[in-house]
Amino acid sequence: MTTIASGTDTLTRDALAVLQPGFTGTSAPSWLLRRLGEGLASVGLFGRNIATPAQVAALTAQLRAERDDVLVAIDEEGGDVTRLEVRTGSSFPGNHALGAVDDTGLTEAVAHELGRRLAACGVNLNWAPSADINSNSDNPVIGVRSFGADTSLVARHTAAYVSGLQSAGVAACTKHFPGHGDTAVDSHHAMPRIDADLAVLESRELVPFRAAIEAGTRAVMSAHILVPALDPVHPATLSRRILTGLLREELGYDGLIVTDGMEMQAISATYGIERGSVLAIAAGADAICVGGGLSDEPTVLRLRDALVAAVRSGELPEERLADAAARVRALASWTASTHPTPSTPASAVSAAGTEAGSAAGSDARTDVGLVAARRALTVTRGAHFAPVTEAPYVAAFTPVANIAVGDETPWGVAAELRRMLPGTETGSFTGERAGAEALAAAGSRRVVAVVRDAHRHTWMAEALDTLLAARPDTVVVEMGVPQSPPRGALHIATHGAARVCGLAAAEAIAGA
């Protein structure tokens, strides 16, 4: 059983309980273990904490030796946003690929298998799925993280994902309430704004969250967005009208409310993380997510002390903080009872797979993630189609990755094509001369052009123009949201850049 260190008062324990901090390293630092003993109830894992499934299992076992009911959270959406396979790419296609297939049974199966692998490593809270409707094609941060632009499609797949994940004993955290899809600004960098009226919000943004609540989602994550029709002053994370009035009272949600990362500029640059955390708890949030960028003990102590000071000054009601802490502990109890015995480090390897997920190995043909990635492909043959039978040149037109995705995770088709067509060469290009540079590098080889959201990047669309004018037999692989008409001798839309999406595309190119 968990033992709280003597000398830690109730107010301080509650202030620690509502925090979900991160840390650096692949084992738990001493300060983190000490704070778990004082009342900290949650820990967030990021790519910097991941090496192998066995290492993650050892890490979570280390945490549970200090607090047996600790919530271990991770931002593992599959697809483009992966932490468990941050160095290799995900074994699971993301939401947009699942939405393109539109088989809720498949979505539930993928989410269950993802949850099973997380649970095998001792992770019991997943900051997923994204229930955002990708209604703005210029959205720089959601895109393929969304199931699609159709409200009913997003709603049914959100519910299926929640059911699949939680059937594996991992709590789902549906995000980003009340909906981040109709924005053209990334809240990692600034404050997005949605100017839709109440009728549109009710019939569009809120529908998937209603479905998630009906499916029993154990957590909901707030968005750092301003929605004037709901609250003209406060962003959703800090809005009592949105978190308590809308989510709790109108939608009837009774689970855990988690904030998005408080170090994101939408909050930290406008309110500061200490002030923002106090306002979030006062508004109705129960858990403060911090640690994607801030991951040290001083940050935890600053937030703890800010919450305690706010209670003592009367700014934050003590009963609100106590209620938030109780909801955190209630979710911890649910996860402990649902999945009480995480795998040992040795068994985690077989349960979770290798770091690369073994998707290119002998078991790949029956892997649910690869099956889903294959089914998600949209393949269009053009007038100049000819099979790719010799090693091509892969030209990857590489945009700047958003912070949620990160730039450390590999993507594309080159690695997989190299296995199928030995001698395949590749290069990465960006900017206004990308097309000409790719042509020069390719020489006489057949070109496979790989793009990601070409409709959002003028230079990328122009690079394709240059390539196709000179080499109409070019194969085009779109690994973002396909908005433009199919182009090229062979056009493949993967609906995401997960490693299995690249494998499925390579199979189609090589004719496997």
C-alpha dist (Å) from residue 389 to 61, 421, 446, 489, 507: 49, 8, 10, 14, 12
pLDDT band at 292 (very low <50, low <70, confident <90, very high): confident
For residues 341 and 509, what is the distance between their CA atoms, to the nearest angstrom?
44
Higher confidence at residue 168 or residue 3?
A: 168
pLDDT band at 408 (very low <50, low <70, confident <90, very high): confident
Sequence-distant (6+) residues with CB within 8 A of 242 are 177, 178, 222, 227, 230, 231, 234, 236, 283
| Structure token digits, residue 493 | 């839309």
Sequence-distant (6+) residues with CB within 8 A of 108 are 160, 161, 163, 164, 167
pLDDT score at 403 = 62
Same domain for 399 and 268, yes or no, is: no
| Structure token digits, residue 32 | 């983190």
Residue 145 lies in a domain: yes
**What angle is formed at CA 75 by the lines to CA 95 and CA 482, rounded to 5 degrees?**
25
For residues 291 and 431, what is the distance between their CA atoms, to the nearest angstrom?
33
pLDDT band at 137 (very low <50, low <70, confident <90, very high): confident
Residue 355 clears pLDDT 50, i.e. is over it = no
Residue 359 lies in a domain: no
How does pLDDT run across 177-188, given as a tens digit for each residue? 999 988 876 666
Closest CA to 71 of 349, 305, 339, 259: 339
Do the Cβ atoms of 431 and 462 come closer than 8 Å? Answer: no
Alpha helices in 121-240 (DSSP H): 151-166, 198-203, 206-214, 240
Could you give the number of structural domains in the chain? Answer: 2
pLDDT band at 350 (very low <50, low <70, confident <90, very high): very low
For residues 443 and 421, what is the distance between their CA atoms, to the nearest angstrom?
17
For residues 215 and 158, what is the distance between their CA atoms, to the nearest angstrom?
9
Same domain for 135 and 257, yes or no, is: yes
pLDDT score at 264 = 87
Sequence-distant (6+) residues with CB within 8 A of 337 are none
Residue 500 lies in a domain: yes
Same domain for 321 and 469, yes or no, is: no
Residue 483 clears pLDDT 90, i.e. is over it = no
| Structure token digits, residue 452 | 């990601």
Average pLDDT value for the chain: 91
For residues 67 and 78, what is the distance between their CA atoms, to the nearest angstrom?
28
Which helix (H) or strand (E) segment holds residue 475: the answer is strand 475-478
Same domain for 406 and 276, yes or no, is: no
Same domain for 79 and 193, yes or no, is: yes
pLDDT score at 202 = 96
Same domain for 303 and 223, yes or no, is: yes
For range 95-114, the mean pLDDT: 98
Residue 371 lies in a domain: no
| Structure token digits, residue 410 | 């590999």
Same domain for 386 and 287, yes or no, is: no
| Structure token digits, residue 403 | 């912070």
- Pick the range with the lowest mean pLDDT from 145-154, 266-275, 296-305, 357-366: 357-366
pLDDT band at 126 (very low <50, low <70, confident <90, very high): very high
pLDDT band at 357 (very low <50, low <70, confident <90, very high): very low
Residue 370 lies in a domain: no
pLDDT score at 268 = 87
Residue 230 lies in a domain: yes
CATH of the domain at 438: 3.40.50
Q: 102-121 burial, b for 16+ CB within 10 Å, e for fewer?
A: bbbebbbbbbbbbbbbbbbb
pLDDT score at 8 = 66
Per-residue DSSP letter, 80: T
Domain finish residue from 310, 338, 366? 338
Please state, as a whole number, how many other Cβ atoms lie within 10 Å of the Cβ of residue 228. 12
Please state, as a whole number, how many other Cβ atoms lie within 10 Å of the Cβ of residue 323. 15
What range defines the domain where residue 86 resides? 10-338
For residues 371 and 145, what is the distance between their CA atoms, to the nearest angstrom?
19
Domain finish residue from 288, 319, 338? 338
Per-residue DSSP letter, 193: B
Backbone angles phi, psi at 491, to 5 degrees: -115, 125
Same domain for 334 and 381, yes or no, is: no
Sequence-distant (6+) residues with CB within 8 A of 349 are 52, 53, 54
C-alpha dist (Å) from residue 43 to 75, 137, 300, 337, 508: 12, 34, 11, 18, 41
Same domain for 252 and 308, yes or no, is: yes
Same domain for 148 and 206, yes or no, is: yes
Do the Cβ atoms of 148 and 100 come closer than 8 Å? Answer: yes
Strand partners, 490: 381, 475
Sequence-distant (6+) residues with CB within 8 A of 69 are 2, 41, 329, 332, 333, 335, 336
pLDDT band at 232 (very low <50, low <70, confident <90, very high): very high
Tell me the residue ranges of DSSP E strands in 237-392: 256-258, 288-289, 378-381
Share of the chain above pLDDT 90, in %: 81
Residue 402 lies in a domain: yes
Closest CA to 307 of 325, 326, 332, 329: 325
- In the block, tokens 């995705």 appear at 405
For residues 193 and 183, what is the distance between their CA atoms, to the nearest angstrom?
6
Catalytic residue ranges: 188, 260
pLDDT score at 340 = 44
How does pLDDT run across 72-102, given as a tens digit for each residue? 999 999 999 999 999 999 999 999 999 999 9
CATH of the domain at 31: 3.20.20.300
Residue 291 clears pLDDT 90, i.e. is over it = no
Same domain for 123 and 19, yes or no, is: yes
Are β-strands 42-45 and 71-74 bridged in parallel, bridged antiparallel, or unpaired?
parallel
Strand partners, 161: none
Strand partners, 448: 394, 475
Share of the chain above pLDDT 70, in %: 90
pLDDT score at 479 = 96
Higher confidence at residue 135 or residue 408?
A: 135
| Structure token digits, residue 315 | 């700014």
For residues 151 and 94, what is the distance between their CA atoms, to the nearest angstrom?
17
Residue 227 lies in a domain: yes
Same domain for 257 and 404, yes or no, is: no
